[in-house]
Amino acid sequence: MAKKTGIEVSLGISEAVKLADVDAIAAYPITPQTHIVEHLSELVADGELNAEFIPVESEHSAMSVCAGTAAAGARTYTATSSQGLALMNEILFIIPALRLPIVMTLANRALSGPISIWNDHSDLMSVRDTGWIAIFAENGQEAFDLTLQSFKIAEDHRVLLPISVNIDGFTLSHVIEPHEFLSQEEVNEFLPPYQPLVQLNPDKPVSMGMVGIPEIFFEAKKAQDVALIESKAVIKEVFKDFGDRFGRYYNVIESYRTEDAETLLLTMGSISETAMEAIDVMRDEQGRRVGLLRLRLWRPFPVDELREMVKGVKTLAVIDRAVSFGGTGGPVAGEIRSALYSTADRPYVASFIAGLGGRDVTVKDFMDMAALAEKMEAEGEIHEYKMIGVRE
């Protein structure tokens, strides 16, 4: 096994961006993402990374600059969190419509208010319909690996879409843990230089970002939707290529001890690792038939894989890290109920919201949620969603 390096997850991501040999970075510092771009600016200043680092006065400008550099054909990277992402909102919609393959780390943090710098998924959920590919990492190694893979996915001419690589703020971004890095040679072989399909070039002028009159707008949006849905095949292809080369395989939905499971928990992000501990306790010490699904790909939503993986399961407990205020379920649970509604033999879907604004979700919480979901299923309880671990 290759030697492991003990390093902060944020710095591991910076290392991946450096190995990807990006051409342009535009970012504005915001907690808890700051260490990533801070380190990248050092690498550029020290001459270790030959890229333009463009400091800007806001995240709106950061994403606008990224649009420009990506349109000019530069491999482009940025990172943000929470309010920073909110400030980018206007431009976020334009990037996929222009088919610009920007890679962005989103260190997930609660949106204000009350002001919170701590982790949940409300920032990502606020940009659900912008048309970005959204991938989740559960630990530092995955954050490193998925950052590299994201450039390859985004820049594939069958995709040409931006990707957010989501890492839980603080829970991942500020943790020192073991990483197995790849060498520059290995990365160069895996990730060839970016070849833009169309780029801004004074010698060959093109127009980008034109008005879409009613006669063409709808078709443009359909084309964008098709591109996002079809990106899943490329994502799976790149996951396999990466696995074949380096031995670390990724899936659009990961599973853990799902064999013969009657009840499944479903999580996204770093709480999945704590959930695995809970599954071990429930299986090994209590003999319960409980397993775990971990949603790696949030957009495009892996509908087919989900339907396949819940076949024969009685109860599915979905754990959301965001609220859709006054809605019919947590954002992930709502999606899953919708995906399963037309299937004949669907499980009972319990929607739990937990861990908002940095509240810990413990092994016991997962065990409690599994038991509660089973009880709700047995009683046929009709509900929209329940909040877990909140004082009332």
Partner 1 sequence: MIEVRIHGRGGQGGVTSAEMLAIAAINEGKFAQAFPSFGPERRGAPVVAFARVSDIKIRNRTKVYAPDIVVVLDPSVLSIVNVEEGLKDDGLLVINSHKTIEELRREYGFKTEMAQVDATHIAMEELGLPITNTTMLGALVKGKEIISLDSLVAPLEKRFGRIASRNIKAMQRAYQETVVAGKES
Q: Does 170 bind partner 1 (CB under 8 A)?
A: yes
Q: In the structure encoding, which two tokens stand for residue 41, read together?
A: 């600016």
Q: Does 36 bind partner 1 (CB under 8 A)?
A: no
Interface residue with partner 1, options 317, 361, 367, 373 (CB under 8 A): 361
50: region left, alpha or beta (phi > 0 left; psi from -120 to 50 alpha):
beta
- Give min distance, CB of 139 to partner 1, in A: 8
Q: Does 78 bind partner 1 (CB under 8 A)?
A: no
- Which one of 22-30, 116-124, 215-223, 339-347 is the stretch in contact with partner 1 (CB under 8 A)? 116-124
Q: Does 118 bind partner 1 (CB under 8 A)?
A: yes
Measured CA to CA, the distance from residue 203 to residue 185 in angstroms comes to 34
Nearer to partner 1, 178 or 212 (CB): 178
- Give min distance, CB of 20 to partner 1, in A: 24
- Which one of 17-25, 33-41, 176-184, 328-336 is the stretch in contact with partner 1 (CB under 8 A)? 176-184
| DSSP class per residue in 77-138 | EEEE-HHHHHHHHHHHHHHHHTT---EEEEEE-PPSSS---S--SHHHHHTGGG--EEEE-S
- Give min distance, CB of 388 to partner 1, in A: 14
- Give min distance, CB of 275 to partner 1, in A: 9
Nearer to partner 1, 171 or 231 (CB): 171
Question: Which amino acid is it at 97?
Answer: A
Q: Does 368 bind partner 1 (CB under 8 A)?
A: no
* Residue among 122, 171, 89, 143 at smallest CA distance from 296: 143
Q: Does 175 bind partner 1 (CB under 8 A)?
A: yes
299 DSSP β-pair partners:
134
73: region left, alpha or beta (phi > 0 left; psi from -120 to 50 alpha):
left
Residues 149-168 that bind partner 1 (CB under 8 A): none
- Which one of 46-54, 173-181, 300-308, 320-328 is the stretch in contact with partner 1 (CB under 8 A)? 173-181
Nearer to partner 1, 28 or 118 (CB): 118
Q: Does 283 bind partner 1 (CB under 8 A)?
A: no
- Which one of 5-13, 14-22, 306-314, 321-329 is the stretch in contact with partner 1 (CB under 8 A)? 5-13
Nearer to partner 1, 270 or 324 (CB): 270
| Cα atoms in the 13 Å half-sphere on the side-chain side of 150 | 36
70 near 101, Cβ under 8 Å? yes
Q: Does 180 bind partner 1 (CB under 8 A)?
A: no
- Whose tokens are 């990807």? That residue is 20
Q: Does 362 bind partner 1 (CB under 8 A)?
A: yes
Residue 289: other Cβ atoms inside 10 A: 16
- Which one of 61-69, 270-278, 309-317, 383-391 is the stretch in contact with partner 1 (CB under 8 A)? 270-278
* Residue among 203, 187, 202, 287 at smallest CA distance from 241: 187
Overall size of the chain counted in residues: 392
Measured CA to CA, the distance from residue 269 to residue 329 in angstroms comes to 19
**DSSP alpha helices (H): ranges in 191-250?**
214-246
382 near 351, Cβ under 8 Å? no
Residue ranges that bind partner 1, judged by CB under 8 A: 4-8, 32, 117-119, 170-172, 174-178, 270-271, 273-274, 276-277, 358, 360-363
